């Protein structure tokens, strides 16, 4: 069994936080996710992590310990980004609202596992207006259970951590009383455009840095019926060299994966009509195209916040993917993943709908890595590079719909 510190991912999705914590030197022993399709994708990318396909509200610490095989080992960190659509501020005590119960389940599992540290990620909107009261109640709940929260909580922008995307998210970090408290990470890069946190920091990557080496998906008929093709990629930027595994990344302590770098993956084509293509071609960089309202990416700037849209229970739609800065089409799932700091070995469900949701719902791994590294520093943990690589999961996990995913994962 690995000697790396053990952690658990709640509301795991495809695994952005899982990957960031692994890159910071942690062992993600267990992940809990409700959506079977996302569970299958997590299992493909993290074949050695136990996946519990179900609601966090139905899971307890004993199940997590049993399913992951960690037994009575110490759990160093519980982390997660709870779904944010249901936050309601009606009533005297918002934590008691059933729509907010998932956050209480997060607290319950942290306490149940007696985790040393926790990291909770959510939308920036929770820090304003009546939502602040909800956060104050949440802090009180942790305090009541002998945990200390690092205050003030912090909104972090992914663009401060080498991600070519403006994406602001709330992070709440805490520790069991008596343990050294982590600090929220300080910016590592200055965004290519926009507000600069520190002029002395190196410039972060641009949209062009992230995707200009990828061949146009429109050149490959095969991408009409599947999401991968064998091809050569173009000249990579320094940012992409890391994502393609062409340069060593000194702060990446993840377990290497065996993968085929000659495959362009997660790149299924979108069928746009001629009128749409014409409008996309004429749109101005960095501005929404007037009819569709899709943003046309500025090659020298940042991507706007990639979103997931709504779930099946809310009239399911996928939030608009931006327009490619050069080609008259929306960007592919792989291009989204590049703009989110996912390495090229990491794959998503082959459908554009699920793949785009998996990227848009996730924490960019480089942002997750920075937060996880702050926790590692507080622990006094100095990670080491793993010596052995592992194989990814079976590719059939990427082609699952809900029922076949349940079957593959042996879920009732």
Q: Would you state the pLDDT for residue 134?
A: 84
Q: Would you state the pLDDT for residue 90?
A: 41
132 domain-assigned: yes
Give the CA angle between residues 241, 245, 251 to the nearest 5°. 90
348 domain-assigned: no
Tell me 320's DSSP state. P
40 domain-assigned: yes
Taking alpha carbons only, the member of 282, 262, 284 closest to residue 274 is 282
Tens of pLDDT along the chain (412 residues) come to 578 999 999 999 999 999 999 999 999 999 999 999 999 999 999 999 999 999 999 999 999 999 999 999 999 999 999 876 555 444 445 555 665 788 889 999 999 999 999 999 998 888 887 778 888 989 999 999 999 999 999 999 999 999 999 999 999 999 999 999 999 999 999 998 877 778 899 999 999 999 999 999 999 999 999 999 999 999 999 999 999 999 999 999 999 999 999 999 999 999 999 999 999 999 999 999 999 999 999 999 999 999 876 555 444 445 678 999 999 999 999 999 999 999 999 999 999 999 999 999 999 999 999 999 999 999 999 999 999 999 999 999 999 999 999 999 987 6
Q: Are the C-beta atoms of 297 and 324 separated by less than 8 Å? A: yes
Would you please indicate which residues are annotated as catalytic (active-site) residues? 84
Number of helices (H) and strands (E), helices first, in the chain? 12, 12
- Taking every pair of C-alpha atoms in the chain, what is the biggest distance, in angstroms? 64
In the chain, the number of structural domains is 1
244 domain-assigned: no
Q: Are the C-beta atoms of 40 and 349 separated by less than 8 Å? A: yes
Decide: helix, strand or coil at residue 378: helix
Q: Are the C-beta atoms of 53 and 31 separated by less than 8 Å? A: no
Distance CA 247, CA 393 (A): 24
**Residue 130 CA: distances (Å) to CA of 135, 146, 149, 281:** 9, 26, 20, 43
Q: Would you state the pLDDT for residue 91?
A: 44
Q: Are the C-beta atoms of 135 and 172 separated by less than 8 Å? A: yes
54 domain-assigned: yes
Distance CA 365, CA 373 (A): 12
388 domain-assigned: yes
51 domain-assigned: yes
Domain around 159: 6-194+361-400
Distance CA 175, CA 165 (A): 30
List the CATH number of the domain containing 174.
3.40.50.150
The torsion angles phi and psi of 237, rounded to 5 degrees, stand at -75, 170
pTM: 0.95
Q: Would you state the pLDDT for residue 132?
A: 84
Q: Are the C-beta atoms of 273 and 291 separated by less than 8 Å? A: no
Residue 77's H or E segment, with its range, is strand 75-81
Distance CA 26, CA 326 (A): 39
Residue 215: count of CB within 10 angstroms of its CB: 14
Residue 156's H or E segment, with its range, is strand 154-157
Q: Are the C-beta atoms of 411 and 35 separated by less than 8 Å? A: no
148 domain-assigned: yes
Q: Would you state the pLDDT for residue 92?
A: 46
| Burial grade of 93 (CB within 10 A; 0-12, 13-18, 19 or more) | exposed
Taking alpha carbons only, the member of 391, 387, 383, 405 closest to residue 21 is 383
Q: Are the C-beta atoms of 13 and 42 separated by less than 8 Å? A: yes
């Amino acid at each position: 069994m690995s000697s790396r510190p053990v952690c658990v991912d709640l509301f795991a999705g495809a695994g952005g936080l899982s990957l960031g914590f692994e890159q910071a030197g942690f062992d993600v022993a267990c992940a809990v996710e409700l959506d079977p399709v996302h569970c299958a994708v997590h299992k493909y990318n993290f074949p050695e992590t136990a996946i519990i396909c179900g609601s966090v509200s139905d899971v307890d610490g004993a199940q997590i310990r049993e399913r992951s095989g960690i037994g009575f080992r110490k759990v160093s960190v519980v982390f997660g980004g709870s779904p944010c659509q249901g936050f309601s501020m009606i009533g005297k005590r918002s934590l008691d609202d059933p729509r907010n119960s998932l956050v209480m389940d997060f607290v319950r599992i942290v306490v149940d596992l007696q985790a040393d540290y926790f990291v909770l990620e959510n939308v920036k909107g929770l820090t304003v207006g009546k939502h602040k009261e909800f956060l104050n109640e949440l802090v009180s709940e942790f305090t009541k259970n002998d945990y200390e929260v690092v205050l003030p909580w912090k909104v972090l922008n992914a663009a401060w951590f080498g991600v070519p995307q403006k994406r602001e998210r709330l992070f709440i970090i805490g520790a069991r009383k008596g343990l050294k408290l982590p600090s929220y990470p300080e910016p590592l890069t200055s965004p290519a455009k926009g507000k600069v946190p520190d002029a002395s920091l190196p410039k972060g990557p641009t949209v062009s840095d992230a995707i200009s080496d990828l061949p146009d998906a429109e050149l490959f008929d095969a991408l009409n019926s599947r999401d991968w093709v064998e091809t050569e990629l173009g000249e990579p930027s320094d940012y992409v060299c890391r994502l393609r595994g062409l340069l060593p990344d000194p702060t990446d302590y993840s377990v290497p994966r065996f993968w085929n770098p000659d495959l362009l993956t997660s790149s299924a084509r979108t069928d746009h009509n001629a009128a749409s293509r014409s409008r996309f071609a004429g749109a101005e960089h960095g501005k929404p195209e007037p009819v569709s309202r899709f943003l046309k990416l500025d090659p020298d700037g940042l991507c706007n916040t990639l979103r997931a849209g709504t779930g099946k229970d809310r009239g399911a739609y996928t939030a608009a993917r931006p327009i490619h800065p050069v080609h008259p089409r929306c960007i592919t799932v792989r291009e989204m993943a590049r703009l989110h700091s996912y390495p090229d070995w990491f794959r998503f469900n082959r459908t554009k709908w699920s793949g785009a949701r998996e990227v848009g719902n996730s924490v960019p791994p480089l942002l997750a890595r920075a937060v996880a590294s702050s926790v590692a520093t507080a622990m006094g943990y100095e990670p080491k590079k793993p010596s052995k690589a592992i194989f990814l999961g079976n590719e059939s996990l990427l082609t699952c719909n809900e029922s076949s995913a349940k079957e593959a994962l042996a879920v009732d």
